[in-house]
Chain A
Amino acid sequence: MATLLRLLKYVRPSGMLVVATLTLMLLATLIDLLAPWVLRKVFDDGISKSDMGMVLMLALALFGLQLGKSLGSFAQGYTQELIGQNVVFTLRKQMYEHLQRLPFKYYDKAQTGQLMSRMTGDIEAVKNFVGFGGMMLVAGMATFVGTLIFMCSMQWQVTLLALSPIPLLLIVMWMFSRKVGPAWGKIREQMGRLTTTLQENISGIRVVKAFASESKEKSKFAGRNEQNFETNMHRAKLEANAFPLMGFLGGLTFLIMIWVGAVYVANDKMSLGTFMAFQWYTWGIIWPLNMLGWQINIFQQALKAAPRVFEVLDTKVDIESPADGGIDAATIRGSVKFQNVTFAFDKKSNEEQTKDLSKKEAAAASEQDRMEQENRAVIHDIQLDIKQGEVIAVLGATGSGKSSLIALLSRFYDVSEGSVLIDGIDVRDYELDGLRRSIGIVPQETFLFSASIRDNIAFGRPEATQEQIENAAKKAQIHAFIVNMPYGYDTLIGERGVGLSGGQRQRVALARAILMDPPILVLDEATASVDTATESAIHEGLLEVMKGRTTFIIAQRLSSIRRADRIIVLDSGKVVQQGTHRELNEQDGFFRRLLERQEMAAASSH
C-alpha cells in the first residue's frame, strides 16, 4: 500500500493528463455502450417497423459515434503513455542523480548488474502499470460498472442472475493476485542475479580465459538460467490455474445472460431488441474481466519492482555538504591536519545495532562492537600536521591504510573518530563539490571514459581551453604521444576507442588531475605502471606543478618520493615513522630497509 501511495506521488504532476485520459476513456466507454443501444433501435424501431429512413439515420449515428471514439482513443493513446513516460523520466532522473551522490561505501558493496537491472527492467515494469496498465484498469472498471447500469435499466432480473458467477471470480482473482505477487518478486530478483553473474563474467573474461575455466563459467550461468526458467514456470503455472478459470467464469455470465434471456424473450418478458443489445453488452462485462488477470500481473510486477527502485532512492547519502551549504572551498590554500583520526570501513550505525536487541543487550553489544570496531579500524588515531605547499610521501606495506588515509581527505569516506582539517576547518564543514575540486587525485586504478582524450583530460573542467589541456598533457608527459595518434586529442579512447597501455592511461589520468589546478594534489601510485625513464621525466614535469601545492605521494619506488619534504610510514593504520629522508634513514625501520634494498639492487647492478 505504501508503495502504491508513493507511486501515486509520481503520477500527481501529471494530474491534468490523468483527468484527460480518464475523461477520454469514459467517453469511449460511453460510446461503446451507446452502440448496442443504437443497434437495438435498428431492430426494434427500424426493422420491425420497416422504417428504412430510421435505419439509415441510425447507421449514420453509428458512424458518428465511431468517429468520436476514434478521435478520443487517438488522444487517449497519447496521453496515457505520456503519463507513464513522465513517471519513468522522473524516476530515472532521480535514480541517476541519487546514484551519483551515493558514497563510496555504497559502491564498495553494490553490484553493477543489480543496479542496471533496477534502472532498466524495474523502472520499465513500473511504467507499464502507471501508464497503460493503470489507466486500462480504471477504464475496465468503468466499462464494467457502466455496462451493468445500462443492462439493469433494460432488464434487471436477467442482469442480476447473470452476475452470479462474479463473486467466485473475485475469489479466484484475489487468490491469484496474492500468489503471483511473490512470484514476480522472485523473478525480478532472479533477473538481477542473472545480470550480475553475466556482468562479472564479461568484465572478467580475460581471467576466465587465462584459467581456461570457460566450462565452469558455463555451468555457473546454466544454474542461474535454470533458476530463471523455474521461477518463470512457477508463475506460468499460477497463470494457467487462474486465467482460463477466470475466462470460464466470465464466459458463464455471458452464457447465463443468453440462456435466461432467451427464455425471457420466448416468454415475452423481454424484447428481442433488448436481447440483441444484451449480447453486445456482454462484451462490456467480459472484456474487463478477461483483462483483469493480465492487469493483476502488471500491477504485481510494478508493486515488486517499485520497492527495488525506491530502495536505491532511499539509501541515505550520508556524505554531503552541510545543511547550510557549507563553507566555500574556493579559497582553500592547502594546509592539512589529521586530528586523532580513526576510521573503519564497516562501522555499524547505532540504529542498526539496537534494532533487534533489548536495551541491556544493546549496551553490552555496543561495548563489544566498539572493541570490534577498534580492531577492524584501518586507520588508528592518526595525528598529522601538514603545512601548505609541503610534499608528503606516504609509504607502507600493502594494505597498511595509505589509500584509506588519503580517501578521508576528499571525504570519500567520513572519519569514524577525530577530524580532518584543511586550513583549520573540518572537511565536513566545506561545500562538498568545492572541497573535492580543490583536491586533484590520480587514483591507483585508472578509469577512463569512452570519450575523446581531450574530454577525458578536461573531465573535471569541461570549459578548459585547448592550450590549458595541452599544457596539462605536457606536464604529464603524454602530449607527444597524443599528437602522434591518428586524430590527436580527438582520438576516442576507453571501451569503444583505442586501447591504451597501463602506463599511458595513468598519464592521461595525471593530466586530468593537473588540469584541475588544485591546491592539494594526491598521487596514489600514479606512476606504478610507467617505466622508470618516463617516471623520472614525469617527476621532473611535476616539480613545477607541485610548486605551492600540498602534495601527497603514495608510491613503492624511491624514485617517486625523492622530492618529498617529509615521509610518513604507515603500518596497520598507524603512523610508525615520520620525518625527512635523513631522519628516517637514521632510524631502523621500513624506510631504511627500502633504501638498503634499492641501494643493494643498484650496487649489484654494476
Chain B
Amino acid sequence: MLPAGCSRRLVAEVQNALDSCAERQRQLERSLRVSRRLLQAWEPTETPAPEPTPRPETNEEAQFSACTPSPQDLKELELLTQALEKAARVRKHISKAGGDKAPSLKSEAIATSPASRTSAPAQSSRRAGSHTSQTKPPRSIRQTRFPAKNLPEHRLLSAVDATCKRGGAQAVKPDPGLRDQQTVPSAAAQAPEAFMLKDKGTLLQLPVAFRKAASRNSRLWAQLSSAQTGDSADAAASARTQFLQKMQTASGWPSASEVEAEVGRLQKACSLLRLRMEEELVADPEDWAQEQRCLLTLEGLQALVGQCLHRLSELRTASVEQPEGSRPGGSPPRGGGAEPVRSPQPLLYSSTRELQTLAALRLRVAMLDQQIHLEKVLMAELLPLVSQPAALGPSWPALCRAVHSLLCEGGERFLTVLRGDEPDD
C-alpha cells in the first residue's frame, strides 16, 4: 500500500491523463460519426410540403392514388427537364461556371447524367411550387444500372411507391400512360437511389449565401490579423500602455501564470542544455582545438545552468511573498499566443497514407509527451518510497518489482525476483 498523500497525487495525475485521452476520443468519435454518415447513402430529409401530403403508408394503392400527377405538372416537368438538359450540356463545356440556373447540387447532379432527363424533383418543385414538395438530395443516377428504355411497368410502379414514400407529392408522378416521355420512366426508376458521395460528390456545389459569408469571413479575419499601422494605431497603443502603467500599483511581482511561463522556459532550457551536453560528451575530440572547444562549451553550459538556477531561486522567493491564489477550476488562458490569430493555413497532403502517417505521428508525439511527464511524476513519488527497504519490510520486493515495471518498462514487462535463501531441509 502506498501512503495517502502519494497515492492521491499519483492517482490524480494518471486520472488527468486518462481524462484528456477520453476527451480526444470523444471528439474523434463525433467526427467519425459525421464522416461515416457522409459516406453512406444520404437520407432525404423530410421537409414540410406546401400542402399536406400523406405520410408513408404501406398501402400501395393508396399511395399510388395519392400521387396522381396533374397534366400541368407533367408539362412543367417536361419543360424543366429540357431546360436542365441544356444546362447539363452547357455545364459540361464550362466546368463549374456560375451555375445559377441550377443553384444547388440537386439539379446539377441529376442533370449531368445523360440518361437522366429527369424530374429533378427538388429543382422543379422549387420552381413550380404547387404540387411538388422538396426532396433533399438528388437521386443518384446510376446510368449503368437503369437503361433509359424499356422499363417494365412493375418497376415503374415500385419506383413510384418509393418516391411517394419519401414524403410527398413528387414531381415524378408517372402516369403509365405517358410512357412516350423517356424522361419519366428513367427518372422514376432511378428515383429510389439515394445520393452517394462516392459517385456524385464532384457535382456538389456550395450554396451562394454560404460562399458569400465564407469569403467575407476570411476577408475579415485577414483584416483583423494584419499588422496595424498608422497614427491611430500608435496612439491607441500608447494610450493602452499609459493606462496599464497607471493601474500597476507596486507590483513587480510575478503572477502565477507568469511563474508558470517562466517554469516552462526553464524546463525548455534544461532539456536544450542537456541535449547540448550529451552531444559534447559523445563527441571525440581529435586535436587540441577540439578538446578546448569541448571544454569551453561544457564550461559555458555550466554557467548557463547556474544562471537558470539563480533565476529559479529568485522565483522561489517571489512566490513566497505572494499569497497563493486558489487555482480556479481550469487554469485561465495564458497571456497568450503572441502569434497573430488568423484563418488556418492549408496543410497539403497527397494520399490517404500520408495523412494517416501524419496523424499517427502527431498522436505519438502527444503520447510520448504525456508518458515523459508521468514518468517524471512517478519517479518523484515512487523512488523515495522504494529507497527505504527497511521501512516497508517484507512487502518491499513486491513493491520494488512493481515500481521497476512501471518506471523502467512502461508497465509492460515484469522482472522476476527470487529469494536466494538456503532451502531448509
- Mutual binders A and B: no
Residues of A participating in the B interface, judged by any CB pair closer than 8 Å: none
